[in-house]
Structure 1
Amino acid sequence: MSKRTRDEDDATVTFDADVDDYVPYVPVRERRADKYRKIASTLRRPTEPDHSDHDSDRDEPQAGPRSTVALIDQAAEMRKAEKPKSELQREYELEQEILQAQTQKKALFSAAELAKDVHYTESLTTSWRPPAHIRAMTEKQLADVRKKWHIITEGEDIPPPIKTFREMRLPAPILAHLKEKGIAKPTPIQVQGLPAVLSGRDMIGIAFTGSGKTLVFTLPLIMLALEAEMRLPFVQGEGPIGMVLCPSRELARQTYDVAMGMCSALERGGYPQIRTLLCMGGISMQEQSDVLRKGPHVLVATPGRLQDMLEKGKINLTSCKYLCMDEADRMVDMGFEEDVRNIMAYFKGQRQTLLFSATMPKKIQNFARSALVRPVVVNVGRAGAANLDVIQEVEYVKQEAKIVYLLECLQKTPPPVLVFAENKNDVDDIHEYLLLKGVDCVAIHGGKDQAEREYAVKAFKDGKADVLVATDVASKGLDFAQIQHVINYDMPKEIEDYVHRIGRTGRSGKTGVATTFINRNSSEQILLDLKYLLKEAKQRVPPVLDALEDPNEKFRMQAGGDIVDGLDVDCTFCGGLGHRITNCPKLEVQRKQQMSSHRSMHAGSGAGEY
């Protein structure tokens, strides 16, 4: 038996490299990568069948013709291809961005409505209808009436203008009361505004000072309250049916007096009693406890006191469906925005909302439109324009000579005369100086208590005082029927305040005079606004103002209808004519205040940690 040697065994397992069925070993990693490549090429393959089996390049993605050009170079070429924007267009786009940032907040919505995303699409309906012959008028006839009265309207389904109070279907006692007050026919804002409000429409009313805006929102509120009382008398715990918010106590008192006059006239004419409640700081609510107990129909209030009464549960807004904000833009500017938001939270349903002012920049109009339901905008003249019945005189007076020159200015016209100063100390100094010179005068400012303020206003209205010295607390909405002369002891910091100040004269079609002192202490920005305001009103521009250079003059020259209509009209934030929103002093002040408040909050939180 022979043994197999080691060499024989090895020979049986030896592989020959020349054999055809030899398969080399491929590592797992390479096999997996090859599998993935095949899957990827299958996914990239076009849907049409590819008959060139040997063209392996078709399985690979094809590079674009610009694949060798860097992306940053491609972007630069695209920018060059675009039509270059002019400096005017870039300025306009920047203004729109700033305005949009300022109007994002909807001040007229409550927090609850914003959280629930509540939106009303239909206006409230009322029982009032215009007479048949007014409803039968064509659109061209209505447009002719508005053109004749210089009324500009915006909105859909605008109620027709009505030229007489009798055609507005008002009760006879109201007509007699208006005639007794010397109001024989409606003013332009009343011709269009009263039918719009009586129809239940939300409205933005813009008209120059002294044009009769108060009647537009108080009269429909009285009519609404009268209708509600006649249907079902109010009892304790009910009411009000509507309210008017005012930024100052003096304006609230004046509005309350207007409403009380109409309510008393209705009661004398045999109609039910309409109870009106005045809710403002500085007065005791105990004096009106009877009205509060029986249930008020109409509420006139300042935001702070009203918010306090609502929180204490003394007033409820369950049945309230009418809200008017008088001097709406000033109310927002004076810091009442959050108070208004809080008040909104107490409404239980939709309400008719009205905003009125003589100066209402686009900032206020924009967020108002976003919150109102199918609003009607009634504009008599440009928002922020000065009353054309006021003769404006501007004089350069050195700071140290102003108080002496004031006596000379008082001789221009017979009394009564209203003198405005910027701060409380100046008001007190002027008041004391005039008393020493034997002038019968009174003074009001925010530092005086309510009794003093009411006494001063009443004495001035009754003719017991020839001169009233005041801060801007008396510039908003107050009606002094016989005043012939307004003196601005110093130029205010905002052109809106100037418009409101001089609007205390030249009311109800009468002519008045406004004298303004300027000097080096007045900012050049506000003087530019004054310069263009005088030009707009076709008033004499003194050489000291005419010599001022306007940095925006080039934009005024460039601005035309082919780019943006109205770009050079005014600042969209405050309405000033001498600047635009990009360099608005009012916006800059607000930004500084916000930064200061943020710093104080951070400082307070840091201090509290220790």
Structure 2
Amino acid sequence: MTSNVPPIKRYRREEDKDEADESDDSNYTPYVPVKERKKQQLFKLGRLVQLSNEAANIGKSSSENEHDSDMNQEEMGRKYNISLFDQHTELKKIAENKKISEVEKQLKEEEKILESVAEKKALMGVAELAKGIQYEEPIKTSWKPPRYVLDKPPYVHDAIRHKLKILAEGENIPPPLKTFKDMKFPKPILLGLDRRGIKKPTPIQVQGIPTILSGRDLIGIAFTGSGKTLVFVLPAIMFSLEQEVRLPFVANEGPYALIICPSRELAKQTHDIVRYYCGHLQQSGLPEIRSALAIGGTPINETMAVINHGCHILTATPGRLMDMLDKKMINLSICRYLCMDEADRMIDMGFEEDIRTIFSYFKGQRQTLLFSATMPKKIQNFAKSALVKPITINVGRAGAASMNVAQDIEYVKQEAKMVALLECLKKTAPPVLMFAEKKQDVDQIHEYLLMKGVEAVAIHGGKDQEERSKGVEQFRNQEKDVLVASDVASKGLDFPDVQHVINYDMPDDIENYVHRIGRTGRSGTKGLATTFVNKATDHFVLLDLKYLLIEAKQKVPQFLAELCSETEKNPELADGCTYCGGLGHRITDCPKLEATRKEQAANMRKPDFLSNADY
């Protein structure tokens, strides 16, 4: 019997499905895409968990993030049977990568700031820039190192530099010479050195003098009291002597060598050193090397008297030199030797435009030398625009304090400073050098010491040049026991017998502090520096001071040790500020840069009344 129920219609898709079910195998493993497998592997290693936690916990407190991360990590470890050691290693890598990225971000930000404040104009003469003149090769000289030195392999010279802690950078660096005799100085110069008690060259002289005698441009950086002055004075005398022997100088000719100093006192001291060694040459029967001094506050007739007879070496300050060049009293047509002592300080003091103008008076290529104890990268990079294949010689870190000076930091209230000065004077025998920031403080300290019966003399920028020169000479000749001064006496001045430097107040700039304390502990002797600080002292300066003491392996007072900076949080950033050289801060927090920007902004806002046609 047949049924009348119509058959159920089956579609092709259902048939295919039924056939697939019949052929199902219990051992079948489903296909997992490569992307999914990598995702599972990352999850197992813990990276995906960490990243997802960081993305999900944005806005949470750090304590909540750490708690959630630890919980997920523990769950992940139990689920996938990962050891605690492997978990710890993986998390440590993540933390290090994150830390490195933060440091890289900080360094990139600092590079942008440094580029924004870098000088756009080259330190070259206007005529050279206009004509597109660019010197490719350094000046050639007739001087050559001794043959036996040249025959030594390069690794011997490198060993000498390493032993003396000399860092030299540049192309074809001349070999270091360990004796003045090897530098081929004549006997009168050697006799003059011996009479000054100078038996062998210091590290900066070992490498610096051969470099200059070879005709190379130079950036010389060495701590205060290391003998930088002789590095550029002796070659200047030798080059001038060579020129005089070949063709004697006639009236109104010269100078051949120009030395520029930031302060009158430093210029006069350098001039005296030049005259000392030139005098020894003349006494031995060699031709006279005439040197002149051009500084403000002194009669210009004395300078012109030397120039009218023909001048070989001129030592000057930027202001007086600019005035004489502008009035055509001197010319630099045959000048081929230019040295800027304390070069960074001159640029910081606002002489940069004057220096650029001075460069425009040169008529040909010159050998350019820059020297200082503190020269941040910003100044080095800027100055290199004026140099031809320069060699940078660095003895110690730029801006580091002399290791021969014991630094004593005392917390003294403002009203107790005067009394504390008398106590400090008992630490050592005279002579003692005192520094203060303000001129009025210098005068007050001077009057107070005179009232207490102390033989003291004072100098600062507000006094006339005759009084300043007389005060320095009285102190140098030990007619006075104490010299009270502003920062005009902090840069480059040499007082060999000073045993104690007292800072009545901490300078606003750590570079000034380094220059101040460098007036003692010179030429290998030991010295003491006492500095008064209190709550009025800037926080960033105290941080710089703290790390300067640590670098010099000095005792750090408790109130300084408690201060903390970004350097301690990130040891990778321990090289300090690239703008001012301070160790306690970075360029992003540099107070000196901030002050410079504020000054520039203030100058931009000032109306230029003189430009109005009605005036």
TM range (shorter): 0.7 to 0.9
Q: 1:107, 1:337 within 8 Å by CA — same for their partners in 2?
A: no
Q: 2:141, 2:215 within 8 Å by CA — same for their partners in 1?
A: yes
Q: CA deviation at 1:607?
A: 7.0
Distance 2:253 2:216 in 1: 24
Partner of 1:259: 274
Distance 1:384 1:190 in 2: 19
Q: 2:225, 2:522 within 8 Å by CA — same for their partners in 1?
A: yes
Partner of 1:169: 184
Q: 2:401, 2:552 within 8 Å by CA — same for their partners in 1?
A: yes
Of residues 579, 582, 585, the one that matches 2:585 is 579
Distance 1:149 1:551 in 2: 32
DSSP 3-state at the match of 1:166: coil
DSSP 3-state at the match of 2:525: coil
Partner of 2:408: 393
Distance 1:244 1:362 in 2: 23
Match status 1:322 vs 2:337? yes
Give CA deviations for 1:497-519 in whole Å, capped at 9, x if unaligned: 00000000000000000000000
AA at the equivalent of 2:182? E
Distance 2:335 2:116 in 1: 32
AA at the equivalent of 1:359? T
TM-score computed with the length of structure 1 as normaliser: 0.83
Partner of 1:604: 609
Q: 2:122, 2:385 within 8 Å by CA — same for their partners in 1?
A: no
Q: CA deviation at 1:604?
A: 3.0
AA at the equivalent of 1:99? L
Q: CA deviation at 1:176?
A: 0.2
Q: CA deviation at 1:111?
A: 2.1
Match status 1:285 vs 2:300? yes
AA at the equivalent of 1:260? R
Q: CA deviation at 1:608?
A: 6.4
What does 1:257-406 align with in structure 2 at a 5 Å threshold?
257-406=272-421
State the structure with more CA Rg. 1
Q: 1:200, 1:352 within 8 Å by CA — same for their partners in 2?
A: yes
Q: 1:390, 1:502 within 8 Å by CA — same for their partners in 2?
A: yes
* Alignment RMSD: 1.5
DSSP 3-state at the match of 2:368: strand
Of residues 106, 122, 132, the one that matches 1:117 is 132
Q: 2:254, 2:307 within 8 Å by CA — same for their partners in 1?
A: no
Distance 1:404 1:117 in 2: 62
What is the percentage of aligned positions where both structures have the same residue?
60
Q: CA deviation at 1:137?
A: 1.1
What does 1:437-476 align with in structure 2 at a 5 Å threshold?
437-476=452-491
Pair 285,533 (structure 1): closer, same or farther in 2 beyond 3 Å = same
What does 1:36-51 align with in structure 2 at a 5 Å threshold?
none
DSSP 3-state at the match of 1:206: strand
Q: 2:166, 2:204 within 8 Å by CA — same for their partners in 1?
A: yes
- Greater shift, 383-392 or 306-315, is seen at 306-315
Pair 598,126 (structure 1): closer, same or farther in 2 beyond 3 Å = same
Distance 1:107 1:434 in 2: 48
Partner of 1:30: none
What does 1:172-191 align with in structure 2 at a 5 Å threshold?
172-191=187-206
Q: CA deviation at 1:251?
A: 0.3
Partner of 2:19: none
Distance 1:225 1:423 in 2: 41
Partner of 1:555: 570
Distance 2:421 2:105 in 1: 46
AA at the equivalent of 2:393? V
Unaligned runs of 5+ in 1: 1-79, 560-566
AA at the equivalent of 1:576? G
Q: 1:107, 1:340 within 8 Å by CA — same for their partners in 2?
A: no
Give CA deviations for 1:278-333 in whole Å, capped at 9, x if unaligned: 01101102124431211100000001101111111110100000000000000000
Distance 1:137 1:160 in 2: 9
Distance 1:324 1:333 in 2: 17
AA at the equivalent of 2:529? A
Q: 1:529, 1:578 within 8 Å by CA — same for their partners in 2?
A: yes
Distance 1:463 1:165 in 2: 31
Partner of 2:25: none
AA at the equivalent of 1:193? G
AA at the equivalent of 2:609? G
Match status 1:568 vs 2:574? yes
Q: CA deviation at 1:606?
A: 8.6
Q: CA deviation at 1:383?
A: 0.3
Partner of 2:523: 508
Distance 1:289 1:528 in 2: 49
Distance 1:379 1:223 in 2: 24
Q: CA deviation at 1:226?
A: 0.3
Of residues 240, 243, 246, the one that matches 2:261 is 246
Distance 1:139 1:350 in 2: 30
Q: 2:431, 2:478 within 8 Å by CA — same for their partners in 1?
A: yes
Partner of 1:11: none
Of residues 582, 591, 597, the one that matches 2:597 is 591
Q: 2:294, 2:303 within 8 Å by CA — same for their partners in 1?
A: no
Distance 1:287 1:337 in 2: 27
Partner of 2:231: 216
Match status 1:546 vs 2:561? yes
DSSP 3-state at the match of 1:516: strand
Pair 267,368 (structure 1): closer, same or farther in 2 beyond 3 Å = same
Distance 1:533 1:113 in 2: 41
Of residues 422, 425, 430, the one that matches 1:415 is 430
Q: 1:281, 1:304 within 8 Å by CA — same for their partners in 2?
A: yes
AA at the equivalent of 2:434? V
Q: 2:124, 2:385 within 8 Å by CA — same for their partners in 1?
A: no
Q: CA deviation at 1:598?
A: 1.1
Match status 1:146 vs 2:192? no
Large movers: runs of 4+ above 6 Å = 605-610
TM-score computed with the length of structure 2 as normaliser: 0.83
Partner of 1:88: 103
Distance 2:325 2:377 in 1: 31
Give CA deviations for 1:78-136 in whole Å, capped at 9, x if unaligned: xx9xx988222121111111112222334521222222222111000111111000111
Q: 1:106, 1:371 within 8 Å by CA — same for their partners in 2?
A: no
